[in-house]
Structure 1
Amino acid sequence: MTSNPAFNALTDAATVAEAFPALIKDRFFVVTGGNSGIGLETVKVLAANGGNVVLCSRSPKNAADALESISASVPDAAARVTTMSLDLGSFASIKAFADAYIATNKPLHVLINNAGVMASPLAKTSDGFEQQFGVNHLGHMYLTQLLLPSLRKSGTAATPARVINVSSIGNFFFSPEGGFRFDDLSAEKHYGYYERYGSSKLANILFTRELGRREYDDGNHVVSYSLHPGAIASTNLSRHTSFGAVWDLLVGLFWKKGGFSVLRRETFKTIPQGAATTIVAALDPVVPPSAHLADCQLSDAVHHSASVELQEKLWKVSEELIASVVSQ
């Protein structure tokens, strides 16, 4: 349960924010992929309620356009938004961003790992990783690790700093039986558009739980949460379409054991409604550490393979992959 049991699939982000004004005003937030969709709505709502927000975008032009749209709709909010360049497909870009943020000496109360790629054609990041796994998981894991010193300094026992990982119900529908093809993470042998997406979204949840164990359970004032924002047709995540992608989608939705019962609970949402669960995860003080949320409440729609053993294995493999690049 969250602080307000009345929050649901149709609650919008602004309504959630109004419930926690003291946890937004004058606090510092970083939002990846903040230039569009639920990321932009998250930035807008936090800034409109007095938060200081860094809007991260791969494209400076998209970031500028996003800031202009905030200025047009909520003029007072724009002054509290800073745009910074961040390409989650490049460890060099991630390091440059983290160094620049830390150099400001500003606190960091909430890191919202929102950016993502969905069901894209096979492609590689600039560091050579399969794009969906590389951007959705490895990029955010590396960013979080670099920003942990700021998060640890900013959190307190009463109000820990937070890491929010925007996952998807795709973790349940699309990831393979064991969660990952550990023998083929580079997709040299097999590539399924939605399967790789599902694995990357499962990785967000496993990372959340392992991070929670390593931080909050170890005595640091940092908690982590994952969430499914909902089915939102109007974002640009679904811009990649092909016969193969559609086939993967249908297989995942209709052949997954228990899929019908999960799918039946889905409600198509507007962007403000889709951002609401992110705001709950970022602010609500009663949500238990390392929880997974959907429709503004706790959720158990997580792939059956999400064991502690798999969390530990993914963390170890991911650290090795990151080290293979950043140690060069």
Structure 2
Amino acid sequence: MAPQITYNPQTDIPDLTGKVFFVTGGTAGLGKQTITYLARHNPAAIHFTGRNVKAGEDVKAEISKILPNAIVKFYECDQTSLASVHAAANLFLAGDARRLDVLICNAGIMGGPIGLTKDGYEIQFGINYLSHALFTKLFTPLLETTASTHGEARIVNLTSAGYTMHSGGLPFADLKTTQDNIGLAGKWARYGQSKFAQVLYTSECAKRHPKITALAIHPGVVHTNLVQGQPLWDRLFVKLTTLGQAIPSEQGSYNTCWAATSENAPKSGSVYYPVGVFEKHTKAASDEGLWRELWEWTENELEAYV
């Protein structure tokens, strides 16, 4: 049976006056939904990224049509390129960025074909995890300043229940390969690996930056374009392995909105399922030594981009 969701973004998102949001991957799907819901509650500004400039401008136009006073800014960004992430982040920071209340790491791919990012990382790991680690690293000083000045700042990482399929450990030596030797379920194993890394990084971020509330959230089983764009067999695989769990697409961003805005402060470093349901880490994701190892590996990989 699908989860019963009583959350209503129209009434449950509080007044956001003065708050600034940054959303990755906001031109479609859950990211676009999130921006639209947040914009209705009077934030100071919403900044968002995407690969497609026209799609970004279309989102801005749609929101302006219904909310003419909303301040929504778009930054072109290709998250297969750390240089592109760095450029988008710097454009934001070089503007009038005096505060950042919430970073929402939403962009991602799921179960795509074998490939590498422009920097040579396994493509799902590079987009879903490493590009967001760079956004986080570049924005952490401003998030901490905002938390000190205004009382709170948050990072919301969109992971997936698929992270629980990862049995543990990370093949650091293979992350700069296509990892095409995993087998028939390789694309899903690589996806789970990237989402597992997001949970680990969130946990370590919470330890190292206690001023910031860092959260990993599962949006729910939503048949977005990430699913609909899969080959027939993979669409059937997703549907069969999530029978009774799917939620309507319009509810897919509810957990993101809750994590980003709930006045009942979520516990930093935690995983939440829809909507606002605390989920204990898997045994594999509870390995604090692995949290630290991933963090240190990531710091080394990103050194050239900060």
TM-score range with shorter-chain normalisation? 0.7 to 0.9
Q: Which runs of 5+ in 1 are unaligned?
A: 1-6, 254-262
Q: How many residues align?
A: 296
Deviations 1:263-288 (A, max 9, x none): 57x63222331111111111223311
C-alpha change, 1:179 and 1:239, in structure 2 (3 Å) is farther
Hey, what does 2:5 align to over in structure 1? 9
Are 2:66 and 1:60 equivalent residues in the alignment? Answer: no
Distance 1:131 1:244 in 2: 21
Letter in 2 for 1:53: I
AA paired with 1:141?
A
| Aligned counterpart, 2:300 | 320
Q: Does 1:171 align with 2:163?
A: yes
Q: Answer whether contact 1:184 1:190 (CA < 8 A) is retained.
A: no
Alpha-carbon shift at residue 8 of structure 1 (Å): 5.5
CA deviation map 1:117-159 (0-9, x unaligned):
1000011111111110001000000111011111111113873
Aligned to 1:93: 84
1:224 Cα deviation after fit: 0.5
RMSD: 2.5
Contact 2:20–2:100 at 8 Å: present in 1 too? yes
For 1:304, give the aligned amino acid: K
Structure 2 unpaired stretches of 5+ = none
**After the TM superposition, which parts of structure 1 deviate over 6 Å for at least 4 consecutive aligned residues?**
none
The structural deviation recorded for 1:301 is 5.9
2:262 counterpart residue number: 284
* Cα pair 1:13 1:272 within 8 Å, conserved: no
Task: Output the CA distance in 2 between the equivalents of 1:37 and 1:189.
Answer: 28
Residues 120 and 193 in structure 1, CA contact (< 8 A), matched pair in contact too? yes
Measured after TM superposition, the shift of residue 241 of structure 1 is 2.4
1:282 and 1:141 mapped to 2: Cα distance? 18
Structure 1 residue 36 corresponds to structure 2 residue 28: yes
Query: Residue 317 of structure 1: SS of its match in structure 2?
Result: helix
Give the match for residue 199 of structure 1. 193
Amino acid at match of 1:57: G
**Structure 1 residues 27, 283: CA separation in 2 closer, same or farther (over 3 Å shift)?**
same
Q: Which residue pairs with 1:3 in the alignment?
A: none
Alpha-carbon spacing, 1:301–1:171, altered in 2? closer, same or farther (3 Å): farther
Residue 71 (structure 1) shift = 3.4
Q: In structure 2, the residue corresponding to 1:156 is in which secondary structure?
A: helix
Contact 2:115 2:178 survives alignment (8 Å)? no
Per-residue Cα deviation, 1:68-124 (whole angstroms, up to 9, x for no partner): 33234x2336x3211111222111111111211111232111000001110000111
- AA matched with 1:276: Y
Cα shift at 1:243: 7.1
Contact kept in structure 2, 1:50 and 1:80, CA below 8 Å: no
TM-score under structure 1 length normalisation: 0.82
**Alignment partners' CA distance in 2, 1:117 and 1:301:** 25
Shift of 1:43: 0.6
| CA distance, structure 1, for counterparts of residue 281 and residue 196 of structure 2 | 8
Residues 221-300 of structure 1: matches in 2 within 5 Å? 221-233=211-223, 235-242=224-231, 245=234, 253=241, 267-285=245-263, 286-300=265-279
Give the % identical residues: 29
